Amino acid sequence: MNVQNFISDYIGQRKDTFIQLSDQLWRVPEIAFEEEQSADYLCQALEAEGFHVEKDVAGLETAFIASFGSGTPVVAFLGEYDALPGLSQKQGLTRHEPVLEGAPGHGCGHNLLGTGSLAAAAAVKEYMEQTGLKGTVRYYGCPAEEKGSGKAYMTRAGLFDDVDFALSWHPETKPVIMNFSSLANYAVKFVFHGKSAHAAATPHLGRSALDAVELMNVGVNYLREHMIPEARIHYAITDPGGTSPNVVQAYAEVSYLIRAPKKKQVVELYERVANIAEGAALMTETKVERLFEGAASDLVPNRNLAAVMYKNLEAIGVPTYDEADHQYAKAINESLAKEERETAYAGLDKATAAKLKGKYITDFIPPFDPEKEVMLSGSTDVGDVSWIVPTMQCMTACWALGTPFHTWQVVSQGTMPIAHKGMLQAGKVLAATAIEVMENPDLLAKAKQEHQERLDGEGYFSLIPEGEEPLRK
């Protein structure tokens, strides 16, 4: 039996079911740890596929594990379904027009991600039933990837300890293998407490929490000169303490996201940022408290799994795009700034970049060398999983070329044929990869050996502070 043909036929026959589910998730965008409807839709779909679903795992109300089969090998498909705040957008438009101003939207395509991984799990289950392949297939419903790092809590709880390998994917503008390392991160909110006063009559009686926030931000900006160049620090003032300038602000808060290539570097950088916060509190005679918001480990690559996944990506091939797809992608591309359009060619070899010129959809598979690894400038809580088991991901073209992540253009494209085709392609690639590894113990052994070599004796430790419990509503 040709695995790729079997998987392609199965997912192709079920495509309407998977597309409907993805669109259903798109219509109910829910932010971190609030994905109640989304998780319920996915659980219902998995139960209908014959999976046993365990809900509320790792103390997370919107996390779950769906299982089929028994024994080894155990493959984990990772699914995400959280949206982003403030990115509401009507579907299919090539102009910005929110459904509801300020509401969330699927600006990272997690409606597609969650469904594509589900399609893969369902396809592997079908193959196991048809062929008698032994093992266990699991779908991990992972909340709060964008803010909260649900997988980090799930990893800390030991939910991946008996898994043999894990697979996932992400919507993008090109079909590529994610044999990347990534930046570990730490998210924390600094809350300052001061004393209010009349800013004109008795300013000397006040102690401004907003002054403390501003001084902290200035201090961190000076810190940038004295940290490793690969590190990143971002912040947002999440509460300035009021809107009246004649009242000294008694309360203010700022949210920080700290990134670095290695977890230990993140911890060191966080401690320096925390010292600056204490200094700002000292200068303003205010008090500061820290509220943990999330953390993610750096991503551990695996060239053995990457090579298998790329082989299956080539075998599955790219979807067929019609004239309507190309015209819509062209219109989306034209809505982007020139600088955004040019990012489509960043990091590509000259031949691939030349082949993309004049295109608005990546309708071919770029070359890939599993020995060549790059550092992803972003972060993902998949990193925590990758410290426990060999893990690999791919990307597929779900958006017009040049589309930046976390934008209204991503949301608009989330229910369009380009997105659906990329999602189904990803499901096929993940399923075919899983089956090849499950049927070839030597491949799995090599992936596990490489995983151990990369860890080089360093054990996993969670960046989540001791005693910190998952956020619950």
445 CB neighbour count, 10 Å cutoff:
11
180-182 and 374-376 as β-strands: parallel, antiparallel, unpaired? Answer: parallel
Nearest to 250 by CA among 213, 201, 291, 290: 213
What predicted TM-score, i.e. pTM, was given to this entire model?
A: 0.94
Q: What is the mean pLDDT of residues 37-53?
A: 98
Could you report the per-residue pLDDT of 234-282, keeping only the tens digit for each?
A: 999 999 999 999 999 999 999 999 999 999 999 999 999 999 999 999 9
Task: Of 32-46, 187-201, 316-330, 359-373, give the lowest mean pLDDT range.
Answer: 359-373
- Cβ atoms of 252 and 209 within 8 Å: the answer is yes
Both structure tokens of 373: 């690894």
Mean pLDDT for 33-49 is 97
| Domain 184-296 architecture | 2-Layer Sandwich (3.30)
Residue 138 has pLDDT above 70, yes or no: yes
Task: Say if residues 340 and 402 touch (Cβ distance below 8 Å).
Answer: yes
State the Cα–Cα distance between residues 242 and 344, nearest whole angstrom: 41
Please tell me the predicted confidence (pLDDT) of residue 344. 86
Work out the average pLDDT over 367-378. 84
Q: Taking a C-beta distance cutoff of 8 angstroms, is the pair 81, 25 a contact?
A: yes
pLDDT reported for residue 75: 98
Q: pLDDT per residue over 382-424, tens digit each?
A: 999 999 999 999 999 999 999 999 999 999 999 999 999 999 9
Beta strands at 184-193 and 287-296: parallel, antiparallel or unpaired: antiparallel
pLDDT for the residue 87: 98
Residue 419 neighbours by CB under 8 Å, 6+ apart: 22, 109, 112, 171, 398, 399, 413
Q: Where do we find the tokens 């009349």?
A: 198
pLDDT, the chain, mean: 96
**Hey, where are the domains in the chain?**
3-182+298-455, 184-296
Query: Rounded CA gap, 287 and 215, in Å?
Result: 14
pLDDT value for 255: 97
CB 470 within 8 A of CB 153: yes
Residue 370 and residue 306 in contact, taking contact as beta carbons nearer than 8 Å: yes
Is the predicted pLDDT of residue 473 greater than 60, yes or no?
no
Higher pLDDT, 347 or 259: 259
- Distance (Å, whole) CA 320 – CA 322: 7
In the CATH scheme, what is the code of domain 3-182+298-455?
A: 3.40.630.10
Which residues on neighbouring strands pair with residue 397, listed in sequence order? Answer: 172
Confidence at residue 414, expressed as pLDDT on a 0 to 100 scale: 98
Q: Which residues touch 361 (CB under 8 Å, ≥6 apart)?
A: 321, 325, 326, 329, 397, 400, 401, 418
pLDDT over threshold 70, residue 438: yes
Neighbours of 310 (CB within 10 A): 23
Q: Name, in order, each residue with C-beta under 8 angstroms of 122's C-beta and a sequence gap of 6 or more.
A: 10, 14, 49
| Rounded Cα–Cα distance for residues 316 and 432 (Å) | 9
Predicted local confidence at residue 219, as pLDDT: 98
User: Average pLDDT of 321-344?
Assistant: 94
Phi/psi at 448 (5° precision):
-70, -40
pLDDT for 376: 78
Provide the token pair at 395: 């990307």
Would you state the pLDDT for residue 471?
A: 60
Determine contact, residues 57/64, Cβ cutoff 8 Å.
yes
Alpha-carbon span 51 to 98, nearest angstrom: 36
CA distance 241 to 201: 19
- State the Cα–Cα distance between residues 70 and 75, nearest whole angstrom: 11
C-alpha span between 77 and 163 (Å, rounded) = 10
378: pLDDT confidence band, cut at 50, 70 and 90?
A: confident
Rounded Cα gap, residues 112 and 106, in angstroms: 9
pLDDT at 470 (0 to 100)? 73
| Beta pairing, strands 165-172 & 74-80 | parallel
The answer to whether residue 472 scores a pLDDT higher than 80 is no
pLDDT at 230 over 60: yes
At 374 the pLDDT is 78
Strand order in the sheet with 165-172: 52-55, 64-70, 135-142, 74-80, 165-172, 391-397, 176-177
Query: Which of the pair, 376 or 50, is modelled with greater confidence?
Result: 50
Residue 320 has pLDDT above 80, yes or no: yes
Give the mean pLDDT of 342-359.
90
Each residue of 110-121: pLDDT tens digit? 999 999 999 999
Mean pLDDT across the stretch 76-84? 98
Three-state SS letters, 375-396: EECCCCCHHHHHHHCCEEEEEE
Secondary-structure percent of the chain, ordered helix, strand, coil, rounded to 5: 45, 20, 35
